[in-house]
């Protein structure tokens, strides 16, 4: 899902206003980005006054749609607009009546954690005819609705655009038939359309991830992990068929995430003779001691002659040629089911906010747009350009051919607290290193292991099955290298280590800096090194995301869901939950968005006793509504005096007679468990990219028969910045680091905190001085 070109942009997440515009334009990756600055920002709580917005879900359902609906409703109400549900998709739009009902703040409560779509979705033949669309237009005009938010796939969004293009004609038809008055036609003279893509296949151009894709991967990986245990018991080959009639994203990422032996996707038909190649591959895996084989196939997989490659065909092939005990499993609609992941809840919420702003900012000349995700940023794209442009096939990580072994030795170590996804990064780094012809070394127990010489060669088979395992198989410790530098330099020389891959948290970052500083004294340390951020706290300078944070976020979100559910019967209960993260409030903030919290206390957003009083008063008012429960998140080090116990006692005292309180400290359960698909995939990409970068850097640093690297750019952090994965010198990141509190000085996710408060019904003011949009999707000319 990440851009690799390394170019930066000036696009800001969201904030919409009306007023004079000053625009500056840049071209990036074939897309024209327009940054808009508003000289006359308006009160966002008045933007929607006198306006009406309808929201519908159409086509196949996807987990996370409800989060998008919830955000659309609540932000719409926040702006002063009326918001309407359209039940049963376009069919409800055509039928009207009770299918179009006004939404309230409470009507979307407890919707966030539900899969599917609460307002219903249906295929609609009536809407395909002009007569049906005229009925739909009449229903909207009668309610004064001129803004439509459609959540669905490309077919649903194409239908919405056609509806908008015909709007004037439909009004004339209704006017001539006497079904609407001239005043009603004038009041509804144009229709604004904004789309959000809800599809588990991730098959829409212009967005990195569609709503529902991450949750579908969760369902698939749950099945793969379960199947793996039974397959190992009986030495079986398992063929798993996943959805993806025209797009192989689910199959490809599943294969990367579980370490499958083979994957078939529609976009990349296998070479001629693939049957023999597959059998050789499976036979080799058994010969080196593997007890199971996993083959992933997308339902739309084809060979080079256009003939379908089905799971049954592959099963028959493996059974007949190899005699393996083989089973085939077709997942089907289980991939659409279940609760949405934390990623999809946050994605849906962010898209819903941006959709409302896009609708309220639209003019009659604004093309229908779709709200998309690019890196960690929400952007707007012209709807029909996205539908028309063919999405490029995601490049699979090719296994490649083994080259002759070189004399390059790359050591890998884990540093800091363990987290889910570390093992996936190690596995990827090891195997890519071997493919590049390097000798890979495993360092056990972090910098201590490097100092004590607990170092051993690590081969291809050693890391088999590591992708789905949590924690750190290499072992990890928090010790920093400063006091062990002499021993470390001796062991680097003894084991002839030419490069280091350091995977870990803030200790890995600080340790890398200490190694760079010690280069002046120890020549052995003049080797390239790369730090891969891996920590649940997501507090590493130089990267917007860290391996492990998504798994921890899902653990917190799932726990919050269960805690909220426990209050469904008792009512009038407020839960105070403490999360990890050190001084970094990422987990508390994002879990608050994903779980629908009323407040999230963090160090980066200072609070005082007045703020606590305001939050208590907010909950006292909330208990007067139909939503009689509260959820408060507190980062473990947000304030030394306002502890979890203090906040619990304060809320208990002030809420006496109205609500009671419970507290829960989640603790180290946030670091455990199997990694999510995101962390498996992210770790795999990071490990591969790190070793490929080291390979190039080693060539640059090879002088006079030896490796010598002492420039700042030879010791880097590999991180994701907005839309690209880039390498940044450790020394360049020092100024952006608060070493006392172990956090970066600038953190992108702080911009999302106002959304958390708006969705919790706080009366706050948004910063609407800037907005960002993407005006066109332009195909690259002369691209190969």
Provide the H-helix boundaries in 436-495.
Answer: 446-452, 485-494
Q: Is 776 buried (19+), middle (13-18) or exposed (0-12) by CB count in 10 A?
A: middle
State the Cα–Cα distance between residues 381 and 161, nearest whole angstrom. 13
Give Cα separations from 390 to 156, 158, 300, 384, 503 (angstroms).
Answer: 17, 15, 17, 12, 36
Nearest alpha carbon to residue 633 among 731, 760, 535: 760
Strand partners, 455: 443
Q: Is 337 buried (19+), middle (13-18) or exposed (0-12) by CB count in 10 A?
A: middle
State the Cα–Cα distance between residues 112 and 26, nearest whole angstrom. 37
268 CB-near residues (< 8 Å, 6+ apart): 248, 393, 396
Give Cα separations from 593 to 261, 556, 599 (angstroms).
Answer: 37, 11, 10
Residue with tokens 């028309």, as numbered in its chain:
388
- Note the Cα 652 to chain centre separation in Å: 36
Q: Is 180 buried (19+), middle (13-18) or exposed (0-12) by CB count in 10 A?
A: buried
State the Cα–Cα distance between residues 218 and 757, nearest whole angstrom. 28
Nearest alpha carbon to residue 389 among 176, 224, 641, 205: 205
- Per-residue exposure over 427-445, b if at least 16 CB sit within 10 Å of its own CB, e if not: bbbbbbbbbbebbbbbbbb
Residue with tokens 């948290």, as numbered in its chain:
505
Residue with tokens 């917007």, as numbered in its chain:
544
First to last CA, the chain: 21
Strand 724-729 with 715-721, pairing:
antiparallel
**DSSP letter (8 states) at residue 736:** G
96 CB-near residues (< 8 Å, 6+ apart): 135, 136, 138, 139, 142
711 CB-near residues (< 8 Å, 6+ apart): none
State the Cα–Cα distance between residues 142 and 139, nearest whole angstrom. 5
201 is catalytic: yes
- Per-residue exposure over 460-488, b if at least 16 CB sit within 10 Å of its own CB, e if not: eeebebbbbbbbbbbbbbbbbbeebbebb
Strand 147-152 with 192-197, pairing:
parallel
Looking at 3, 95, 154, 201, which residue is catalytic?
A: 201
State the Cα–Cα distance between residues 719 and 721, nearest whole angstrom. 6
SS3 label, residue 519: helix
State the Cα–Cα distance between residues 619 and 578, nearest whole angstrom. 18
Nearest alpha carbon to residue 156 among 208, 211, 196: 196
Q: How large is the angle between the packed helices 213-234 and 342-361, nearest 10 degrees?
A: 160
740 CB-near residues (< 8 Å, 6+ apart): none
Give Cα separations from 300 to 29, 160, 205, 248, 329 (angstroms).
Answer: 29, 27, 18, 8, 15
**DSSP letter (8 states) at residue 128:** G
Task: Provide the annotated active-site residues.
Answer: 201
């Amino acid at each position: 899902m990440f851009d690799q070109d390394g170019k930066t942009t000036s696009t800001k997440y969201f904030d919409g206003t009306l007023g004079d515009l000053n625009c500056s334009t840049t071209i990036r990756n074939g897309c024209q980005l327009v940054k808009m600055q508003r000289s006359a920002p308006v009160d966002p709580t008045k933007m929607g006054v006198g306006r009406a917005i309808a929201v519908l879900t159409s086509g196949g359902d996807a987990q996370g749609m409800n989060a998008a609906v919830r955000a659309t409703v609540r932000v719409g109400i926040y702006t002063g607009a009326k918001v309407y549900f359209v039940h049963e998709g376009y069919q409800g739009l055509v039928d009207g009546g009770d299918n179009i009902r006004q939404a309230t703040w409470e009507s979307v409560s407890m919707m966030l954690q539900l899969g599917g779509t609460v307002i219903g979705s249906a295929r609609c033949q009536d809407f395909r005819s002009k007569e049906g669309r005229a009925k739909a237009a009449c229903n909207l005009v009668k309610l004064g609705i001129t803004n439509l938010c459609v959540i669905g796939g490309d077919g649903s969004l194409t239908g919405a655009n056609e509806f908008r293009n015909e709007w004037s004609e439909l009004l004339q038809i209704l006017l001539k038939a006497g079904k609407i008055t001239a005043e009603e036609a004038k009041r509804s003279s144009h229709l604004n359309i904004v789309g959000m893509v809800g599809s588990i296949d991730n098959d829409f151009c212009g967005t990195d991830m569609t709503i529902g894709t991450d949750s579908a991967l969760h369902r698939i990986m749950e099945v793969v992990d379960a199947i793996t245990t039974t397959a190992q018991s009986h030495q079986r080959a398992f063929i798993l068929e996943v959805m993806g009639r025209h797009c192989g994203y689910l199959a490809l990422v599943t294969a990367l995430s579980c370490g499958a032996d083979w994957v078939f996707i529609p976009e990349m038909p296998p070479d001629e003779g693939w049957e023999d190649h597959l059998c050789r591959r499976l036979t080799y895996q058994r010969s080196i001691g593997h007890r199971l084989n996993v083959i992933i196939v997308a339902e739309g997989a084809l060979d080079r002659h256009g003939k379908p490659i089905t799971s049954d065909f592959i099963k028959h092939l493996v059974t007949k040629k190899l005699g393996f005990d083989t089973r085939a499993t077709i997942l089907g609609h289980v991939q659409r089911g279940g609760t949405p992941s934390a990623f999809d809840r946050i994605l849906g919420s962010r898209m819903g906010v941006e959709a409302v702003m896009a609708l309220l900012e639209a003019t009659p000349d604004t093309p229908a747009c779709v709200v998309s995700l690019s890196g960690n940023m929400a952007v707007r794209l012209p709807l029909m350009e996205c539908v028309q442009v063919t999405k490029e096939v995601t490049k699979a990580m090719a296994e490649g051919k083994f080259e002759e072994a070189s004399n390059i030795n790359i050591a890998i170590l884990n540093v800091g607290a363990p987290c889910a996804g570390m093992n996936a990064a190690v596995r990827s780094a090891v195997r890519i290193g071997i493919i590049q012809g390097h000798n890979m070394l495993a360092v056990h127990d972090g910098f201590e292991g490097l100092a004590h010489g607990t170092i051993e060669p690590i081969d291809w088979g050693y890391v088999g099955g590591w992708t789905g395992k949590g924690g750190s198989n290499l072992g990890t410790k928090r010790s920093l290298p400063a006091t062990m530098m002499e021993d470390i330099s001796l062991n680097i020389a003894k084991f002839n280590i030419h490069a280091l891959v350091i995977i870990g948290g803030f200790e890995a970052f600080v340790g890398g800096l200490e190694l760079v500083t010690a280069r002046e004294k120890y020549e052995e340390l003049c080797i390239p090194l790369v730090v891969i951020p891996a920590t649940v706290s997501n507090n590493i300078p130089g990267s917007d995301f860290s391996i492990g944070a998504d798994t921890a976020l899902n653990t917190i979100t799932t726990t919050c869901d269960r805690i909220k559910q426990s209050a469904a019967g008792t009512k009038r209960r407020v839960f105070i939950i403490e999360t990890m993260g050190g001084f970094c409030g990422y987990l508390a903030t994002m879990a608050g968005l994903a779980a629908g919290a009323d407040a999230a206390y963090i160090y980066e957003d200072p609070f005082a006793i007045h703020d606590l009083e305001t939050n208590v008063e907010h909950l006292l008012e909330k208990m007067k509504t139909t939503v009689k429960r509260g959820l408060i998140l507190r980062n473990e080090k947000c304030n030394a005096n306002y502890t979890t116990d203090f906040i619990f006692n304060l809320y208990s005292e002030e809420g006496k007679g109205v609500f009671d309180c419970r507290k829960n400290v989640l603790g180290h359960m946030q670091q455990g468990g199997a990694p999510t698909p995101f962390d498996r995939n992210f770790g795999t990409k990071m490990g591969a990219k790190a070793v490929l970068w080291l390979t190039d850097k080693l060539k640059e640093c090879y002088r006079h028969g030896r490796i010598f690297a002492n420039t700042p750019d030879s010791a880097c952090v590999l991180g994701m910045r907005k839309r690209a994965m880039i390498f940044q010198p450790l020394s360049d990141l020092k100024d952006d680091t608060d070493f006392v509190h172990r956090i970066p000085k600038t953190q992108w996710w702080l911009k999302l905190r106002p959304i958390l408060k708006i969705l919790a019904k706080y009366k706050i003011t948004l910063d609407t001085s800037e907005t960002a949009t993407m005006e066109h999707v332009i195909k690259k000319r002369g691209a190969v």
